[in-house]
A and B are shown apart, each in its own frame.
Chain A
Amino acid sequence: MKKRVLALALTVAMAGTMLTGCGEGGNNAANSNTSSSDGGKVVKIGVYEPASGDNGAGGKQETLGMQYANSKTPTVEIGGEEYTVELEIVDNESSNDKGPSAASSLVSSNVSVVLGSYGSGVSIAASDVFKEAGIPAIGVTCTNPQVTEGNTHYFRICFLDPFQGTVLANFANDNFSAKKAYILTKLGDDYSTGLGHYFKEAFTGLGGEVVEETFQEGNSDFISYITSAKNAGADVFFAPVSTEAAALIIEQSAAQGLGIPLMAGDTWDSNVILNAAKGKDVEIYVTTFYQEGGNEEFDNGIKEWINSDSTAKSNNGGDDTIAAVTAMGYDAYYVALEALKAAGSTDAKAVNEALWDVTYTGVSGEIAFNETGDALRDVAYVKCANTETGAWDFVAVQGVN
């Protein structure tokens, strides 16, 4: 018995060493913005976002936008009554098999509407769970067409990959007169595969040539891919992948002297990329939903909020650069409030009906839904990473034509 107690104590001690050995950043004080209400009526909004895994960084930034919006507007008037809005946050772990369970836990806590997710695969994976429960979902930055296709409960407020892929292909063609593109996508990632596919379609449509390669989950060695891109004589390196892989690609392409521009979609619009690129010899171009400086009031407000809350700051990657996904999360929250107001009830079915006609002018532009539930968006911002200052430089506003 003594031995067992000893061994148990050792287990705990071992866990303890790990925690103290590398545990700063942890143990933060709580967020003040999800405090429960006292007595008043409550409406719950589910937040279905990744907080860990591949897309954890982006998911956290997107959630920040919603939390900030919630702290600014914590109540909503539904059918003449004042309701307190509670955010019910779950972590879908960026994984298509953990996602549905996280979604079920949202369903079981009776949310009226769901926001999310960052990443298309997890959104598609959880779609049926929401559908069966009759709960509408508002996709924030899931750009794959399949998210909203063929259903009536999934909406989205961002642009789609066929659009984004075309924008990127046009940009590569116009600005770099690129004739050959190297496309690197991640296996089993719907966002990555989808955007790669649409870019290829658009780029070959412009008379270009592509070389496609894929990498496995958990791969961290990109040197061979970078060498292959060089050997193929590509003019641009297109890598629509998660920020986790992106940081590795940037680092290794700088070390290998890749020498051609790196291009990517909305996932790369993150301070993870800026930090990885800072001081390195790389050229990075991304398309995105929002350009910092687009709305002064929002920018200043959220910066102040992030700087005043240590958890929020560490969730934002340790600085106050505003990611486009944060702005999108912010807008998504208000779209949800508009829908609740229009529905005049917290009933999920009524909210779903009301969503079709919601229009809202957010910080990222006008939002209205078409017949598949997609936002009507026709512009994307192109940004370039400034490797000296570690910030984004605005390049162009680009449409399809």
Chain B
Amino acid sequence: MDWISRNLPYLMAGISVGGQYALIAIGYTMVYGILRLINFAHGDIFMVAGLILVYSATVLPMYIAIPLMIIATVFIGFMVERVAYKPLRSAPRMSIMISAIGVSYLLQNLALYVTGGLSQQYPAIPWISDTITIFGTTTKRVTVITPFLTIILVVILVLLIKYTKIGMAMRAASRDFETSQLMGIKINSVVSMTFIIGTFLAAIGSLLFFTNYTGVTPTVGAMPGLKAFVAAVFGGIGSIPGAVIGAFIIGICENIIKGLGWTTFSDAFTFALLIIILIAKPTGLFGEKATDKV
């Protein structure tokens, strides 16, 4: 019992942060699946979502502020695709990736300007911010909720992709972009939908993440963003369950490493994992066989 209460916090923190990474990673994996683009700005959209709630919660009640935050974030995600990625769709892959880096740079600098460079305190969200005790360890309720919420959202998403028309169109587009266009799929709306779903989940992820770690700074999205991307690669890019499992593994390992006292390497570990998986099994845990990665 003592052993559990000593080590449970690491595991819980790991699972919870893993769930948050998972919600971000889905955005990466879906966009990559269709456009073959590492959307470097995704982590920054996650940060922007946090900032929007910080500011909207100062003037609006929470039950309006949260839906507003989600809508605004989804809108920004949609606009980023339309403005920065769509014009470059026929350009070489490197150009569009550079554009993604540019968007990331722009979002960070805008956030720096708006916040004046200061860390913003995330508002406490009723119920999920409360402190609770399980097995003798105290923690926030959000820590416990996150994995369940993540799994529910993922199941809904998988059903959506499997059984709806737009889901079918997405699968087709990710299988073969050109041919699906020839088959009469409105590729622009499919891509937009992908970005909308991705940013929606990132917005939820930011709500959970910042409730636990309550400081929003302009660069706060960069590391979770990169880690979520690694999770997506680890699970096999394009595969949603893969991204989720990858994210949980990364979240848990990272916290165990911190628990062991190897704190200097908690970030480096994630990248080491990435390189190992890229070399050993480039398609990731659940990736498709046919690919042009290597």
Chain A–chain B contact at Cβ < 8 A: yes
- By size class, the interface of chain B is 35 or more
User: Of A74-82, A210-218, A371-379, which stretch is located at the interface?
Assistant: A210-218
Cβ-neighbour of B55 out of A14, A15, A24 (below 8 A): A24
Q: How far is the CA of A102 from the CA of B76 in the complex (A)?
A: 33
User: Secondary structure at chain B's binding surface: helix, strand, loop or mixed?
Assistant: helix
A120 CB to closest chain B CB (Å) equals 19
Contacts of A50 in B (CB 8 A): 117
Whether the Cβ atoms of A228 and B259 lie closer than 8 Å is yes
B41 CB to closest chain A CB (Å) equals 11
Q: Which residue of chain B has the shortest Cβ distance to A18 in the bound complex?
A: B110
Residue A10 at the chain B interface, CB threshold 8 Å: yes
Residue B140 at the chain A interface, CB threshold 8 Å: yes
Given contacts A216-B267, A224-B13, A227-B10, contact A21 B116 (CB under 8 A): no
Contacts of B54 in A (CB 8 A): 22
Contacts of B118 in A (CB 8 A): 52, 56-57, 60, 317
Residue B219 at the chain A interface, CB threshold 8 Å: yes
B148 CB to closest chain A CB (Å) equals 19
Residue B184 at the chain A interface, CB threshold 8 Å: no
Cβ-neighbour of B114 out of A23, A219, A248 (below 8 A): A23
Q: How far is the CA of A18 from the CA of B6 in the complex (A)?
A: 44
Contacts of B55 in A (CB 8 A): 21-25
Contacts of A272 in B (CB 8 A): 119
Q: How far is the CA of A26 from the CA of B112 in the complex (A)?
A: 11
Given contacts A22-B55, A255-B139, A257-B138, contact A17 B76 (CB under 8 A): yes
Contacts of B117 in A (CB 8 A): 50-53, 56, 91, 93
Residue A209 at the chain B interface, CB threshold 8 Å: no
Contacts of B59 in A (CB 8 A): 24
Whether the Cβ atoms of A247 and B121 lie closer than 8 Å is yes
Contacts of B76 in A (CB 8 A): 14, 17-18
Q: How far is the CA of A254 from the CA of B72 in the complex (A)?
A: 32
Q: What per-residue 1/0 map shows which CB atoms of B246-286 lie under 8 Å from chain A? A: 00000000010011010110110000000000000000000
Whether the Cβ atoms of A256 and B215 lie closer than 8 Å is no
Chain B stretch 79-135: residues in CB contact (< 8 A) with chain A: 79-80, 82-84, 87, 106-107, 110, 112-119, 121, 131, 133
Contacts of B180 in A (CB 8 A): none
Cβ-neighbour of A248 out of B10, B215, B258 (below 8 A): B215
Q: How far is the CA of A93 from the CA of B119 in the complex (A)?
A: 13
Q: Which residue of chain B has the shortest Cβ distance to A254 in the bound complex?
A: B131
Cβ-neighbour of A214 out of B10, B72, B214, B263 (below 8 A): B263
Q: How far is the CA of A230 from the CA of B83 in the complex (A)?
A: 49
Contacts of A314 in B (CB 8 A): 116
Q: How far is the CA of A224 from the CA of B11 in the complex (A)?
A: 9
Contacts of B187 in A (CB 8 A): none
Whether the Cβ atoms of A252 and B213 lie closer than 8 Å is yes
Residue B199 at the chain A interface, CB threshold 8 Å: no
Q: How far is the CA of A228 from the CA of B258 in the complex (A)?
A: 9
Cβ-neighbour of A247 out of B80, B214, B258, B259 (below 8 A): B214
Given contacts A218-B220, A244-B217, contact A22 B113 (CB under 8 A): no
Whether the Cβ atoms of A227 and B213 lie closer than 8 Å is no
Q: How far is the CA of A317 from the CA of B118 in the complex (A)?
A: 9
A41 CB to closest chain B CB (Å) equals 33
Residue A360 at the chain B interface, CB threshold 8 Å: no
Contacts of B217 in A (CB 8 A): 244
Residue A19 at the chain B interface, CB threshold 8 Å: yes
Whether the Cβ atoms of B13 and A221 lie closer than 8 Å is yes
Contacts of A230 in B (CB 8 A): 6
Whether the Cβ atoms of B213 and A248 lie closer than 8 Å is yes
Contacts of A252 in B (CB 8 A): 212-213
Q: Which residue of chain A has the shortest Cβ distance to B258 in the bound complex?
A: A224
Residue B74 at the chain A interface, CB threshold 8 Å: no
Whether the Cβ atoms of A18 and B48 lie closer than 8 Å is yes
Residue A251 at the chain B interface, CB threshold 8 Å: yes
A351 CB to closest chain B CB (Å) equals 30
Q: How far is the CA of A222 from the CA of B213 in the complex (A)?
A: 8
Whether the Cβ atoms of A213 and B263 lie closer than 8 Å is yes
Contacts of B113 in A (CB 8 A): 19, 26
Contacts of B87 in A (CB 8 A): 3, 7
Residue B70 at the chain A interface, CB threshold 8 Å: no
Q: Which residue of chain A has the shortest Cβ distance to B80 in the bound complex?
A: A14
B266 CB to closest chain A CB (Å) equals 7
Q: How far is the CA of A7 from the CA of B87 in the complex (A)?
A: 8
Q: Which residue of chain B has the shortest Cβ distance to A187 in the bound complex?
A: B264
Q: Which residue of chain A has the shortest Cβ distance to B112 in the bound complex?
A: A52
Residue A369 at the chain B interface, CB threshold 8 Å: no
Q: Which residue of chain A has the shortest Cβ distance to B9 in the bound complex?
A: A227
Whether the Cβ atoms of B83 and A22 lie closer than 8 Å is no
Whether the Cβ atoms of B266 and A216 lie closer than 8 Å is yes
Most chain B CB inside 10 Å of its own CB: which residue of A3, A18, A52, A228: A18
Chain B stretch 176-223: residues in CB contact (< 8 A) with chain A: 212-215, 217, 219-220, 222-223
Whether the Cβ atoms of A213 and B261 lie closer than 8 Å is yes
Q: How far is the CA of A244 from the CA of B122 in the complex (A)?
A: 12
Q: How far is the CA of A252 from the CA of B137 in the complex (A)?
A: 13
Cβ-neighbour of A224 out of B131, B138, B215, B259 (below 8 A): B259
Whether the Cβ atoms of B138 and A21 lie closer than 8 Å is no
Whether the Cβ atoms of A256 and B139 lie closer than 8 Å is yes
Interchain Cβ contacts under 8 Å between A and B, 12 examples: A14-B80, A21-B55, A23-B114, A60-B118, A216-B266, A218-B220, A221-B212, A221-B255, A223-B13, A224-B13, A224-B258, A255-B139
Top-10 shortest CB links A-B: A52-B117, A257-B138, A224-B258, A220-B213, A22-B55, A227-B9, A223-B13, A56-B117, A244-B119, A10-B83
Beyond the given pairs A18-B114, A22-B51, A243-B119, 7 more chain A to chain B contacts, judged by CB atoms under 8 angstroms and listed by A's residue number, are: A11-B83, A52-B117, A57-B119, A216-B264, A224-B259, A247-B214, A251-B214
